[in-house]
Amino acid sequence: MQQDSVRRTTVAAAACGALLLVLSACVTIAPGPARAAHGPRDARGQDAPTPTEPSAPTADPARIPGVGDRLYRRVPAGSRQVVAVYGEGRDSAASRVVLYTRRDGRWHPVGSWPAHNGRAGWTTHHHEGDRRSPVGVFTLSDAGGVLADPGTRLPYDRNEAAYAPPAGWDEAHQHDFDYVIAIDYNRIRGTPPRDATRPWGAGRGGGIWLHMDHGSGTSACVSVSEDAMRLLLRTLDPAREPVVVMGDRATLTE
């Protein structure tokens, strides 16, 4: 009985481990070791009954993978598009962006791209200059940039002067704002991304966007490739109430 209990505990632990791997982006589940020729023996040296092994649990398709109850409850009930930003760690600038759409009550991935967030990582209490991206759920309402509208349904503000990189930025950063999508953190929805109004005060930071990547961390924005920005701009639809769910993986799962 004791050996049988140990085996049941081992099987349960393996199943839980499999679930964690399913919820992690870009993780391959390696095959387990080969089963031993004989199972546990009873007191008479006979093969003990082998418990039925449950199949490995899978992620709930009605939920966004890797997002726990605390943040999932903040996704609007009518939202059918979510941009999930999975930060590698609280103090890491590396992340992955996955676009999901909801159909038939299930979330389906549309695209997945490597990305960068604030160079100092993530925070639940963002303030100006901390170089961390804010954790949370935010609407996506407005877009713009240096380049012409690539065909988005979001209101698009093309303004070469307003979105030109600041003087002194190096060559790697010259195209950061060719395309931008405003993340509605401490801003007024329905205004161009360049609008500097800060409803919560300047100290809480602002001007946090999805924009084009330059290969390293940002001041607080989330950056992805030009191809990713084009797809996001062409796919996001105000009628589907798009939001971004963003944070480091540990915090996202709470």
Provide the domain count of the chain. Answer: 2
What does the DSSP 8-state code read for residue 74?
T
pTM of the model: 0.76
Task: Report the alpha-carbon distance of residue 45 to residue 120 in Å, rounded.
Answer: 59
- Asked which of 18, 38, 58 is the last residue of a domain, the reply is 58
Q: Which domain holds residue 206?
A: 69-252
Who has greater pLDDT, 33 or 155? 155
Closest by Cα among 175, 170, 188 to 229: 175
Assigned token pair, 208 = 């946090």
Q: pLDDT tens, 88-119?
A: 999 999 999 999 999 999 999 999 999 999 99
Pair 163, 142: CB distance under 8 Å: no
**What is the domain-level CATH number for residue 236?**
2.40.440.10
H helical segments located in 75-188: 160-163
Task: Report the alpha-carbon distance of residue 232 to residue 97 in Å, rounded.
Answer: 11
Is the pLDDT score of 12 beyond 60? no
pLDDT for the residue numbered 170: 83
Does residue 64 lie in a domain region?
no
Task: Report the alpha-carbon distance of residue 106 to residue 40 in Å, rounded.
Answer: 42
Task: Report the alpha-carbon distance of residue 149 to residue 153 in Å, rounded.
Answer: 10
